[in-house]
A and B are shown apart, each in its own frame.
Chain A
Amino acid sequence: MSVDAATAAPALTVQGISKSFGERRAVRDVSFEIARGELVAIIGPNGAGKTTLLSILAGIQQSDEGSVAQPDGTTARIGWVPQQTAIYGKLTVAQNLRLFAKLEKVSDPEATVERMLDQTGLGERADEELGRLSGGNRQRVNIAVGLLADPPVLLLDEPSGALDPRQRERLWGFITALTQRGTAVIFATHDIAEAERHADRVLVLADGELLFDDAPAELKRIAQADDEHDLEQAFVGFLRDRGH
């Protein structure tokens, strides 16, 4: 954590969020805070409610109960990288970036587009139609669109799944740089090692319930990961012990 969280107001305060789809309770009474510059991982099984929680934070879905608050006076939008690519297949890479840069009212759209093309390593393919790119490359653009606006809080839903190792490294380099400048970042992932390596804090979500909210080392300790059992195995055991 590069900014002293204790002195500053939280970048985001989540209070008692619940959301149901018919009978199914996707998120149950989840509360937490995230400070400026903090990097938080959300892990949990498939269907745990990670995407639902993040999209409520992003303002895409309405929660049934609870509230999401930014510090008073904040007008900036929360940044959002969805799990499924959300960009125009018939536009080129550059056109997609330029469009969203303008919609996000970025101060210098052209420079931002250049920066993002550079960041994603897609400069050479800038004028190709998005629909023709490989799945991983599409995901790169999808992430880049979410990073355009330089928001105070950034949400990423399984951003690295489709990326090759080199792109993953680039992505984490970029995100770490953002947190050092004070951006609060929350990301959902199934890659426990990634969560352990990069996150300041880990939230464990299962069946919509928040089971754990602390540093990765603490999770490791509770889950009794040791040399024989790596963190992933330990995590599965942790969930099993709690009935999931």
Chain B
Amino acid sequence: MRWMLLKDLQILRRSKLLVGLLVVYPVAIALLIGFSLSSGPEKPSLAFLNQIPATQNTINFGDEKIDVKVYTDKLFDAVDRIDVENREQALEKVRTGEALAALIIPSDFVMKLSNGGFNSATVEVVYNGEALQQSFVESTVQSKLALADAALARQINKVASGYIKVITTGGEINALGQTFKLLGLVESKKLLDDTLQDASPQIARRLEPLQNFADIGVANIGRFNDVLNTVERPVEVDETVVSGRRTPLDTFAVALAVTVSLMFVCVLLASGLLALEREENTFSRLARGLVPGGWLLAGKVVLAAACAFVVTLVMLLGISAFVPLDYGRVALWILAIAASGIAFATLGVAIGSLAREVRAASLLALMLALPLAFLALVPSGGVSPVLYDVIQVISALFPFKPALDAINNAINAADASMLVALAHLAALTIAFGGAAYWGLRRFASA
């Protein structure tokens, strides 16, 4: 038992690549998660435009006043607020990415709330069109808005149920600078009942509808409050998307699914195919000039990319049965998937050139591919700006991010940024191809 343990430790000590990975990997992941948890902007920046005139900072319900700050403070305690002057500025901040979103409170906000008809009071939220970022901001802003709404609704409820109480049981209300004494529904009904007992049958008959009304009113008083409590969202949100188009999250998810599958098939297959040549010792035979190194690599890349191409194209067609996709862009799909597949497979052979066995190659490929996909999906504003920049640089060094960009572009809306992504993929293909060639000469010929 002890000797077996010792033997395993000795083996591990010799397996530098594996142990290095086992150490570096969890540390890297832990640092990453630690960073994103600790240094994430708890306060996403939000451009804020308050168009309410300075004189209208309170919502009036008769003599009761609700300060608008009740609403806005709730919103901004969790948001980094950038005040802007006008709507154009607000849109600009969102477009440039300085603010994740903009919140615009229109000038008629207080008036509409004060006049009742709660549903007609609106605030406007302006988003950027990027799917991931938007879903992130949307959920943040929506939850803050919900909090603010709830606070406002509670205030309104309190005021309104105060009125109802006065109407029901009587009391004093202030309106137009004067104090009125209100009889109250309950008292009114009692008074009416008493009066009608002494009244002539003629008058009693004529006042009968009034008496019925008072009956029903008193009997249903409790329900007024129930109705009020259902008013949970007194303010409506009006959404605007700055970039003009908007990738719905579900078609973005399609692009993501396609890219992830493409990556795994390509990287695993290409690295495994190359490592197999060394596992079987056949590499030494081939290296005698039977197959030049470049051709060997190119063969693996093309095969892996072709397999993955078929798999993902079939997958995409299958998905299109559920999510409507624009078949007019099939040529772009093919282009994006082929370019991405070749880049992924080239990364695969670069990994494969380091490994002596298929299993080691697969492990290496998985351990590299997973966190890369994870990193590329961190939305801007999801972590601190510095960390985000670091993540951007790392993502740019591997094909996942540009592949996702290209495929998302091809599926959802093609514009010039697809060309950028394709050029990026081509550059990475050349770089990893060179690395694989070097690795093959350096590690595989011994």
Contacts and interface: CB of A to CB of B under 8 A. Distances in A.
- A and B found bound together: yes
Given A61-B445, A86-B280, A77 B289 contact: yes
Interface string A66-96: 0000000000011010101111110000000
The size class of the interface chain A forms with chain B is 20 to 34
B200 interface: no
Contacts of A89: 280
A84 B282 CA distance: 10
B52 interface: no
Interface stretch (A39-47, A52-60, A226-234): A52-60
Nearest to B285: A86
Nearest to B281: A86
A155 to B, nearest CB: 10
A60 B280 contact: no
A143 to B, nearest CB: 13
A88 B287 CA distance: 15
Interface string B284-300: 11111111000000000
Interface string B253-289: 0000000000000000000000000001110111111
Interface string B402-446: 000000000000000000000000000000000000000000011
Contact of B288 (A60, A62, A84, A87): A60
Given A60-B445, A61-B445, A61-B446, A86 B290 contact: no
A145 interface: yes
Contact of A87 (B282, B291, B445, B446): B282
A104 interface: yes
B281 A85 contact: yes
Given A60-B445, A61-B445, A88 B288 contact: no
Contacts of A84: 281
A77 B286 CA distance: 12
A60 B440 CA distance: 12
A103 B286 contact: yes
Q: DSSP majority for the B interface?
A: loop
A100 B285 contact: yes
Given A60-B445, A61-B445, A61-B446, A86 B284 contact: yes
Contacts of B290: 77, 100, 103-104
Given A60-B445, A61-B445, A86 B282 contact: yes
Contacts of B280: 86-89
B284 A82 contact: yes
A104 B286 CA distance: 10
A78 B290 CA distance: 11
Contacts of B284: 55, 60, 82, 86
Contacts of A77: 288-290
Contacts of B282: 86-88
A209 B284 CA distance: 25
Contacts of A60: 284, 287-288, 445
Interface in B288-329: 288-291
A27 to B, nearest CB: 14
A103 B287 CA distance: 12
Contacts of B289: 59, 77
A77 B281 CA distance: 19
A63 to B, nearest CB: 12
A58 B286 contact: no
A119 to B, nearest CB: 19
Contacts of A62: 445
Nearest to B287: A60
Contacts of A88: 280, 282
Closest 4 CB pairs of A and B: A86-B281, A103-B290, A60-B284, A86-B285
7 contacts: A60-B288, A60-B445, A62-B445, A86-B281, A86-B285, A88-B282, A104-B290
Interface of A: 55, 58-62, 77-78, 80, 82, 84-89, 100, 103-104, 145
Interface of B: 280-282, 284-291, 445-446
Given A77-B290, A145-B285, 17 more contacts: A55-B284, A59-B287, A60-B284, A61-B445, A61-B446, A77-B288, A80-B285, A82-B281, A82-B284, A84-B281, A86-B280, A87-B282, A88-B282, A100-B290, A103-B286, A103-B290, A104-B290
